[in-house]
């Protein structure tokens, strides 16, 4: 497992009974996590100091139960990047801290490339990967179907002092955008994908990642340049393990370009137990190390 262990403004304090207790700056939140199947004693006193707790509804979704929440949004930092976080109606806060281990990978590869790098970030959410790549000197195309998320990402870029960097902000369906880029002859040296596990299209079409990820990756592999740097596929889908995504990248990107394919779970350290909580998987195709 690759662990995002360099955070100062974020930590998982403890986990038990399907919940995790997290510190986001100076705010303590309790959020559900179906992977936390253990019922260890909640002896840490911080459980009783939480500012808010997300409670799932039996009919789907859920609500935040606020205790002494003094702010609706605030900023946290990761190294030289700054992010605005805010509890949303879907239990998320606008940031996935475990992805920091991938941000570090992107920045290292881009800085060591020794040439201009164009990055395509698909399903780009609030821009963690976009900002990391831009900070490392890349030209980035940020694509997400949600206008609200793209606006949030632009605000994060401004907070990080990156709003003048060469970033294209695109609100569009990711696959349709890639197909148009291929027709236009536009290419990218790196592709980052973080597709949702499940969703519905504007016409009610059902999206299931495990059923459609192969065709999606295959299409996106065609937008790579002649000398690509990396292709990264993230997943939070339990039915799509890291080894399957690694195989998928191998038979798509790996058959067209020389390089290395790897995969692993990614996770976050838990302060009280000393163990790491799995938080999804990442598969990576990259050029061979020099």
Q: Give residue limits of the domains in the chain.
A: 2-85, 97-287
Helical (H) or strand (E) element with 278 = strand 276-286
Same CATH topology for 2-85 and 97-287: the answer is no
Amino acid 207: pLDDT:
59
Q: In terms of CATH, what superfamily is 97-287? A: Vaccinia Virus protein VP39 (3.40.50.150)
pLDDT of residue 78: 98
Name the least confident of 114-123, 202-211, 237-246.
202-211
Query: What does the DSSP 8-state code read for residue 79?
Result: T
Q: Which residues contact 132 (CB under 8 A, 6 or more apart)?
A: 81, 103, 104, 106, 107
Q: Which residues are CB-contacts of 50 (< 8 A; sequence separation ≥ 6)?
A: 21, 28, 29, 30, 67
Contact criterion met (CB below 8 Å) for 263 and 243:
yes
Which residue(s) pair with 82 in the sheet? Answer: 77
Cα radius of gyration (the chain): 19
Between CA 107 and CA 27 the distance in angstroms is: 28
Per-residue tokens: 128: 């963690």
pLDDT at 238 > cutoff 90: no
Is it true that domain 2-85 has CATH number 2.60.40.1180?
yes
3-state secondary structure 51-63: CEEEEECCCCCEE
Report how far Cα 214 is from the mean position of its chain's Cα atoms: 19
Reported as half-sphere exposure (CB side, CA atoms, 13 A), residue 195 has a value of 26
The 10s digit of each residue's pLDDT in 196-226 is 776 655 566 555 776 778 999 999 999 999 9
Residue 290 has pLDDT above 60, yes or no: no
Q: Whole-model pTM?
A: 0.93
């Amino acid at each position: 497992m690759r662990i995002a262990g360099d955070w100062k403004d974020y930590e998982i304090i403890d986990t038990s009974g399907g919940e995790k207790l997290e510190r986001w700056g100076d705010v303590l939140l309790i959020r559900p996590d179906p992977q936390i199947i253990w019922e260890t004693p909640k002896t840490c006193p911080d459980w009783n100091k939480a500012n808010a707790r997300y409670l799932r509804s039996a009919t789907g979704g859920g609500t935040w139960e606020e205790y002494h929440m003094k702010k609706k949004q605030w900023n946290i930092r990761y190294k030289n990047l700054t992010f605005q976080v805010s509890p949303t109606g879907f239990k998320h806060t606008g940031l996935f801290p475990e992805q920091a281990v991938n941000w570090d990978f992107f920045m290292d590869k881009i800085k060591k490339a020794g040439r201009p790098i164009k990055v395509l970030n698909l399903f780009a959410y609030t821009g963690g990967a976009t900002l990391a790549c831009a900070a490392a000197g890349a030209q980035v195309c940020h694509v997400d179907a949600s206008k609200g998320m793209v606006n949030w990402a632009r605000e994060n870029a401004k907070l990080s002092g990156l709003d003048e960097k060469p970033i294209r902000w695109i609100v569009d369906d990711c696959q349709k955008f890639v197909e148009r880029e291929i027709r236009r002859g536009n290419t990218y040296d790196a592709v980052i994908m973080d597709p949702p596990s499940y969703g519905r299209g504007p016409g009610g079409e059902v999206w299931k990642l495990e059923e459609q990820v192969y065709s999606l990756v295959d299409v996106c592999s065609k937008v790579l340049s002649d000398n690509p740097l990396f292709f990264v596929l993230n997943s939070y889908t339990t039915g799509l393990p890291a080894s399957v995504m690694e195989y998928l990248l191998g038979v798509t990107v790996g058959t067209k370009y020389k390089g290395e394919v790897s995969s692993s779970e990614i996770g976050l350290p838990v302060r009280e137990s000393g163990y790491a909580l799995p938080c999804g998987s990442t598969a990576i195709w990259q050029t061979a190390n020099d």
